[in-house]
Chain A
Amino acid sequence: MANSPILIREQRYHQIKALLARLRLDASARLVVLVDKDGQQIAVHGELGELDTTSLASLAAGNVAATGGMAKLIGEREFPTLSHEGERESIHISVIGRVLLLVVFDDRSSLGLVKLRSKQVSQELAQAFAEVERDSQASAADGSLPFGEITDEEIDSLFSQP
């Protein structure tokens, strides 16, 4: 494996969800998503509707990776925030260490408010994710990952499930 797995325990997940819920309320946003820089969705809170948040997470990570590449070409380390303003819906993305905080908002809010509230919550999110990484490393070190005992038969059975 390229890296050891990231493991999110329930308590930590609910802590992150609570931070997202608070941000959504404070920013009057439609939806808030926390995404890993590699494109994996970590947690989401808000009006989901029919929105495909898995694709949104993957595209957001691609977007940040591409603009990060452009930043390096012009001598910047990265662009810490990205905003895309549409006619009705807009997106604001903040890069917080190895995670991305994505806020979807409409005319009930404003870019300024979303930027301000995102910044306010970013330190707490960074701390929470640092705890997730510590948990993951500890679990990898003490062998308490849930798949340490997985058998070949169990892996094979995945491919025969309907």
Chain B
Amino acid sequence: MTFINYASREINCKIVYYGPGLCGKTTNLQHIYDSTAAQSKGKLISLATETDRTLFFDFMPLELGTVRGFKTRFHLYTVPGQVFYEASRKLILKGVDGVVFVADSQEERMDANIESLYNLEENLRSYGYELMKLPYVLQLNKRDLPNVVPPADLTAELQRKGEPVVEAIASNGVGVFDTLKAVAKQVLTELRKS
């Protein structure tokens, strides 16, 4: 839920990166963290297992700039992608303002993408949110791998509502900021409507 604080002149919004296990959600955040100036970001918090799999969430606050005298801060979260972390994954969606679905473009991960997307819609519904009404971006990640599904086929399978689709290679930063901008713009545009 967006917070507008008149006293500190700040707008705070929450964006969640969702997707199947090992699709690159944490890698997206890591790239944003590594490429952002120190004064624009807070700490990157990772609640991960000993093997670096996300256990609960990753979190980083990011300041984008000022609009109408208000600092805009985006709180970026990832969810744990592994199927058995369902309970904690759902908790992270509470109060979300915008969602990025990170799809793994590899052929063998197609079923995992579909399952995760279905799971996202279901978990949003449990809070009374509708994916169709939420700022939302589809990222097709890992485009550099050899066995990837063509973007058109992935889009046909995974696009839900004409949302922006961004091709990405999060490990080297391709498409990461385009994805963030696409979702952040939608969140701010929604703010205008509300």
Contact = CB atoms under 8 A, between A and B. Distances in A.
A146 interface: yes
Contact of A55 (B43, B56, B92, B194): B43
A56 to B, nearest CB: 10
Given A55-B45, A150-B188, A2 B91 contact: no
B75 A146 contact: no
B145 interface: no
Contact of A150 (B42, B45, B192): B192
Nearest to B127: A2
Contact of B1 (A8, A38, A59, A148): A38
Interface residues of B, number: 53
Contact of A58 (B59, B88, B96, B191): B59
Contact of B191 (A9, A42, A145): A145
A146 B88 contact: no
B13 to A, nearest CB: 9
A81 interface: no
A161 B3 contact: no
A150 B70 CA distance: 12
A8 B59 contact: no
Interface in A16-72: 36-40, 42, 52, 54-55, 58-59, 62, 65-66, 69
Contacts of A39: 14, 59, 75, 95
Nearest to B134: A2
B95 A2 contact: yes
Contact of B91 (A4, A52, A65): A65
A40 B14 contact: yes
B160 interface: no
Contacts, number: 145
B14 A38 contact: yes
B2 to A, nearest CB: 4
B6 A7 contact: yes
B189 interface: yes
A126 B5 CA distance: 18
A134 interface: no
Contacts of B75: 39-40, 54, 58
A40 B3 contact: yes
A121 interface: no
B42 A55 contact: yes
A127 interface: no
B7 A158 contact: no
Interface of A: 1-10, 13-14, 36-40, 42, 52, 54-55, 58-59, 62, 65-66, 69, 140, 145-150, 152, 154-159, 161
Given A5-B2, A158-B64, A158-B72, 12 more contacts: A1-B97, A1-B135, A8-B3, A9-B6, A14-B7, A42-B5, A58-B77, A146-B68, A146-B70, A157-B67, A158-B65, A161-B66
20 contacts: A2-B95, A9-B7, A10-B7, A14-B7, A37-B94, A38-B14, A55-B45, A58-B59, A147-B4, A147-B67, A148-B192, A149-B192, A150-B188, A154-B68, A155-B185, A155-B188, A158-B64, A158-B66, A159-B64, A161-B64
